[in-house]
Amino acid sequence: MSLIRKSVEALEGYTPGEQPDDPAIIKLNTNENPYPSSPKVAQVMRDMDAAQLSRYPDPVCRDLRKGLAELHGCSVDQVFVGNGSDEVLALCTRAFVENDGSAGYFDPTYSLYTVLAKIRAVGEHVIALNDDFSWPIDEASVELDKDASCTLFFFTNPNAPTGRLCPRAEVKRFCEAFKGVVVVDEAYVDFADECCDQLVVELDNVIVARTLSKAYSLAGLRIGYALGSLPLIEALYKIKDSYNVDGIAQAMALAAVEDVGTMRANAARVVATRERLVERLAALGFGVCPSQANFLWVEPPGMGAKEMFDALRANRILVRYFPGERTGRFLRITVGTDADVDRLLDVVTTLCRDG
């Protein structure tokens, strides 16, 4: 008899992007921010008293929630803080899907969603994006209306791995039509032209998930949060771990949130580099999906995506390749510093010329 649940034995776990040890490698594969976080975060580290570590942290992150509530114009009770936004997503599958129910998402999208559903051993309602990776909002709403088992839907916006942004009005229309909980996963929204945070004030069935890993340059800190109506947020607090966010992380995250200007300046730098990269890759013949994130979803000219992935790796540049029928023709390229992007462009220009 196996000691492991059948669903876990059969599970293919989520595979994060490669984290190389060699600092000389140009790392454009995990959507990290190439610029440092607020100097106030570093000051918190310098001022931290190690004696404080003998005490448990605030289990409900009160100070950080106050800062986030002020940032988003909502009440403190509408904010949940988690150990990365991945914890928020996992808790949603535990709080809002019955054992005989299902969770939904578009395809392609963040590949963790299917893993979370399989961990819970619940059903999955997968809706294909259009050929250009835009959203079939009306068709999806009709289809989901017929599936009473689907009580949770993950809506990544901007989407990953494509970078496309669904207009706020379209997202709202989808949320109004869906009978269950919609998690609008806005991990990359600080690089976009609009966001959906105010939907949590307007609609009772919406959770907006955010992270400090991307625009705030704090991927190593593991802080995510959720905004939502009081009943939804209370449900997440009922099932979280006792002390899910450590005290150092809470203090550093609050310092970053209170210096939102640094984040926005860094995001603006990334967006400017993104637009330059779009222009240069398009001139080389790449197919480039419209992006509102800190990465591009591109189809290389003249050679397959896997072939270019391997060639870039041979040149000590890491990007992300997702095998699959719909994704296998594309690469996802994180927007790095201008120097990183210049090196990438030099290499791909040579590859396109020689290929």
Percent over 70 (pLDDT), the chain: 100
Q: Rounded CA gap, 89 and 207, in Å?
A: 10
State the helix-helix crossing angle for 260-283 and 338-354, rounded to 10 degrees: 10
Model confidence, pTM: 0.95
Distance, C-alpha 9 to centroid of its chain: 27
| Residues contacting residue 114 through CB under 8 Å, at least 6 positions apart | 105, 124, 126
Instruction: Using alpha carbons, select from 111, 96, 109 the residue that is nearest to residue 182.
Output: 96
Position 185: which residue type? D
Percent over 90 (pLDDT), the chain: 90
- What confidence category does residue 8 fall into, taking pLDDT thresholds of 50, 70 and 90? confident
Is pLDDT above 90 for 21?
A: no
- What confidence category does residue 302 fall into, taking pLDDT thresholds of 50, 70 and 90? confident
Instruction: Using alpha carbons, select from 213, 214, 196 the residue that is nearest to residue 205.
Output: 196
Mean pLDDT of the chain, nearest integer: 95
pLDDT digits (tens, 9 = 90+) for 100-147: 999 999 999 999 999 999 999 999 999 999 999 999 999 999 999 999
Q: Rounded CA gap, 193 and 293, in Å?
A: 10
Write down the CATH superfamily of domain 6-36+261-354: Aspartate Aminotransferase, domain 1 (3.90.1150.10)
Q: For the domain with range 39-259, which CATH number is right: 3.90.550.10, 3.40.640.10, 3.40.50.2300, 2.40.110.10?
A: 3.40.640.10
CA distances from 270 to 108, 127, 190, 266 (A): 24, 31, 10, 6
- What confidence category does residue 355 fall into, taking pLDDT thresholds of 50, 70 and 90? low
Task: Extract the tokens encoding 274.
Answer: 């993104």
Is pLDDT above 70 for 281?
A: yes
The DSSP symbol for 277 reads H
Mean pLDDT of all residues in 41-45: 95
For the chain, what are the domain ranges? 6-36+261-354, 39-259
User: Which residues lie across from 270 on neighbouring strands?
Assistant: none
Least confident segment among 51-55, 138-142, 289-293? 51-55
Residue 167: is the preceding peptide bond cis (ω within 30°)?
Answer: no
- What confidence category does residue 263 fall into, taking pLDDT thresholds of 50, 70 and 90? very high
